[in-house]
């Protein structure tokens, strides 16, 4: 087959983005577990991932620059490269937010002021969105990408329910403002991760169809 | 092939005397509708 090395190079790029995604998903899951259980050890495990990830990020960037410079890709190959670049930027932002989440348990201390049932529900939907947006990238499945992005509405709905509840707590008891503020940050971080998952889904639709869409 | 992309408005891909695809240059090089065209312009055969 012609251009065997080039095709292998494209496969490696795709695998690197997926590996990056798997680590980011793990970081998100662990950060949520750490914040729900107020588990400082688990939170530190998440923070330790940051250094490991910089190698994969570098690998993706170098790979993209080589492909663009040496192979002049076009059509679906170029779309794969553009998508890989955009998705890795979104994954980097998700990683940053997972790190922000992992910093919360140490700041809250003591016990939670409310049961985090709705927050867990919200985080479960976002975990689903993260996993399936990456799966859609792996299989170039624009249908799965669209279905996945649709779940952002549920996340926004839960976000406003918790938001209202937390504001009420602040108005009722000034002593709880400190802890409540961190929970407000927390739901904001989770909601932002859902938005980045939508961006990943948009990149998948572009990869699969060459169509540029807005999904959130 | 890149020169064709730079200088023309439309392009056609012929294979063994048959016209496989004809369209605006942007469509052919960005998102061709025929797999044969895609495989040719991305260098999967030539």
Q: ipTM of the predicted structure?
A: 0.81
Q: How many CB pairs under 8 A join A and B?
A: 34
The enclosing domain of A89 has a CATH number of 1.20.58.220
User: What is the domain range of residue B33?
Assistant: 2-41
At B3 the pLDDT is 86
Distance in angstroms (rounded) separating the CA atoms of residues A89 and A157: 26
Q: How many domains does chain A have?
A: 1
Residue A117 lies in a domain: yes
Best CA proximity match to A118, nearest among A164, A168, A159: A159
Please compute the mean of the pLDDT values over residues A111-138 and round it to a whole number: 95
Q: Is there a domain that residue B46 lies in?
A: no
Which chain A residue is nearest to residue B31, measuring alpha carbons? A75
Q: Do B42 and A1 touch (CB under 8 A)?
A: no
- In the prediction, which pLDDT does B24 show? 94
Report if residue A32 sits inside a domain.
yes
Report if residue B28 sits inside a domain: yes
Whole-angstrom CA distances from A96 to A44, A54, A102, A206 are 14, 12, 10, 25
Q: Which pLDDT does position A1 carry in this prediction?
A: 55
Query: Of the candidates A206, A176, A169, which has an alpha carbon nearest to the alpha carbon of residue A82?
Result: A206
Tell me which chain B residues have a C-beta less than 8 angstroms from the C-beta of A74: 5, 29-30, 41-42
Asked, for residue A54, whether it belongs to a domain, the answer is yes
Question: Strand, helix or coil at B10?
Answer: strand
Its domain, for residue A161, covers 4-209
Give the pLDDT of residue A3: 82
| Amino acid A2: pLDDT | 65
- What local confidence, expressed as pLDDT, does residue A48 receive? 92
Residue A88 lies in a domain: yes
Structural domain total, chain B: 1
Query: What is the rounded distance in angstroms from the CA atom of residue A131 to the CA atom of residue A81?
Result: 20
Give residue-wise pLDDT tens across range A15-72. Answer: 999 999 999 999 999 999 999 999 999 999 999 988 878 788 888 999 999 999 989 9
Provide the mean pLDDT of chain B: 92
How large is the average pLDDT for residues A139-153?
98
Position A113 confidence tier, pLDDT thresholds 50, 70, 90: confident
- Average pLDDT for residues A97-101, to the nearest whole number? 97
């Amino acid at each position: 087959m012609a251009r065997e090395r080039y095709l292998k190079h494209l496969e490696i790029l795709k695998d690197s983005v997926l590996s990056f995604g798997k680590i980011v998903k793990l970081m998100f899951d662990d950060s949520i577990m750490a914040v729900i259980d107020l588990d400082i050890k688990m939170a530190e495990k998440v923070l330790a991932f940051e250094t490991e990830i910089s190698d994969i990020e570098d690998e993706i960037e170098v790979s993209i620059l080589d492909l663009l410079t040496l192979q002049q890709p076009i059509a679906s190959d170029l779309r794969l490269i553009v998508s890989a670049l955009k998705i890795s930027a979104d994954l980097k932002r998700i990683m940053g937010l997972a790190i922000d989440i992992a910093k919360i348990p140490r700041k809250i201390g003591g016990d939670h002021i409310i049961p985090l049932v709705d927050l867990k529900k919200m985080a479960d939907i976002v975990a689903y969105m993260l996993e399936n947006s990456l799966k859609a990238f792996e299989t170039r499945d624009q249908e799965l990408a669209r279905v996945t992005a649709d779940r952002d509405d549920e996340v926004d709905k839960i976000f406003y329910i918790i938001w209202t509840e937390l504001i009420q707590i602040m108005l009722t008891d000034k002593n709880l403002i400190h802890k409540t503020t961190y929970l407000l940050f927390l739901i904001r971080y989770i909601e932002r991760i859902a938005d980045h998952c939508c961006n990943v889904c948009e990149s998948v639709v572009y990869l699969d169809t060459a169509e540029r869409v807005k999904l959130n | 092939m890149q020169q064709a992309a730079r200088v023309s408005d439309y392009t056609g891909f012929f294979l063994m005397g048959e016209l496989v695809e004809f369209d605006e240059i942007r469509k052919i090089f960005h998102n061709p509708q025929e797999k044969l065209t895609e495989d040719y312009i991305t260098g999967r055969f030539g």
